Structure 1
Amino acid sequence: MPSVQPAAPATQSVNLAAEVARLREQLRLRDKALAHARKQAPPTFEGKIDPIVAEDWLRSVEAIFDHMELNDRQRVSCAVYLLKMDARIWWHTFSKKYYSAALLATNVDEFVTLVQGNLFVTNYAQKFNRLEKFAPEVVPTETLRAQRFIRGLKPMITRDVMMTSVELVSYAEVLDRELEAEYLEDRIWKDNAARRENY
């Protein structure tokens, strides 16, 4: 008599369905970005040694990507599509060497635990922007990106940003408020130091 296997829990099937839906949406967006990029008639790059040719190609492609308002992941996907011959071979070698699973995991971990610490807001933003490219699933929306950025700030700056904002939904808005808060905090420290010297 055949043994009867217990049915998988409903939560597993829901999670699997959600993951499949998310992956389908990612593929749809990638395909849409590639189709849009093809319509812009971008130049291909074959890996010529001439740096002027490479720079011209890069500027042309960046202008198209800026016009299309692509995110970093979409830019890489479209740029790789435009690489031909030696350039394509170089990319495959580079991506295997420099984007190993261990390196990606390390960068994701660093992003997830990133805090401002002793950094200025601009330095923290640079590091945040560099590392977030490795963890798009951690901040898939602009709102989550802004929230993650705020969570890593110094408590005083976070407080100032949160107190002055009705609703911050974009990373750019958050960064603007944080730079202003840091500037004001610096002014307060300087004013207090000047008062102490005068007493």
Structure 2
Amino acid sequence: MAYSFDPVYERFRKQAPPSFEGKAEPMEVEDWLKLVEAIFDHMELNDHQRVLCAAHLLKMDARIWWDVVKQTRDLNTMTWADFFQVGKTYYSAAILATRVDEFMTLVQGNLFITNYTQKFDRFARFAPKIVLTEAMRVQRYMRGLKHMIARDVKMTNAEVVSYAEVLDKALEAE
């Protein structure tokens, strides 16, 4: 465990990383992991330093979970990729399945394009096999758009190739 006199941990702490208390909401877990990983990348920490620093941020239920993980894993050989994967298993398969279902049924409805896109992107993280390619991502995104906007996007460019192009066309159509 990192101690207060550890210069790496002190540098890390100065970045004001958020703690993680252990809510089993996949988006919160993913957001926390990504935010902490960005700090690690900025600081150019090695795997061992990343694991130690991340473990220090775990509080309450997450700390209890980590104590169990420590009993079954060798922390001296654990990589950040291992920690990241273990972190993803923190939330249950049922919660993950719910997020995938929400992604599959997501439609624009009364949302503005920007709000729909934010939700789409957030939920897509939990269904990578459904949007495995750019074409699959575009197809799924288009399926959720309001009919009139989807029609306008198709009319402006019969061969929309990228997700970014679809988003631009949808914003124009709105």
TM range (shorter): 0.5 to 0.7
> Which letter maps to 1:107?
R
Q: TM-score, normalised by structure 2?
A: 0.58
Separation in 2, partners of 1:47, 1:108? 39
Per-residue CA shift, 1:67-122, capped at 9, x if unaligned?
A: xxxxxxxxxxxx9887222525748745443x210111000000011000000000
- Please, which of 40, 43, 50 is the counterpart of residue 13 of structure 2? 50
Separation in 1, partners of 2:172, 2:92? 38
Give 1 or 2: higher helix fraction. Answer: 1
In structure 2, list runs of 5 or more residues that go unmatched: 1-7, 18-34, 67-86
Q: Which has the larger radius of gyration?
A: 1
- Please, which of 100, 104, 109 is the counterpart of residue 112 of structure 1? 104
> Which letter maps to 1:58?
A
CA distance 1:53–1:118, shift in 2 (3 Å): closer
Aligned partners of 1:47 and 1:87 also within 8 Å: no
> Which letter maps to 1:50?
R
Aligned length: 123
Q: Which residue of 2 aligns with 1:85?
A: 52
Q: TM-score, normalised by structure 1?
A: 0.52
CA distance 1:139–1:56, shift in 2 (3 Å): closer
Per-residue CA shift, 1:128-182, capped at 9, x if unaligned?
A: 0000000000010111101110110000001100111131121100000000000
Separation in 2, partners of 1:82, 1:145? 36
| Higher RCO (CA 8 Å, separation ≥ 6 residues) | 2
In structure 1, list runs of 5 or more residues that go unmatched: 1-44, 65-78, 183-199
Aligned partners of 1:114 and 1:152 also within 8 Å: yes
Separation in 2, partners of 1:150, 1:48? 45
CA distance 1:168–1:49, shift in 2 (3 Å): same
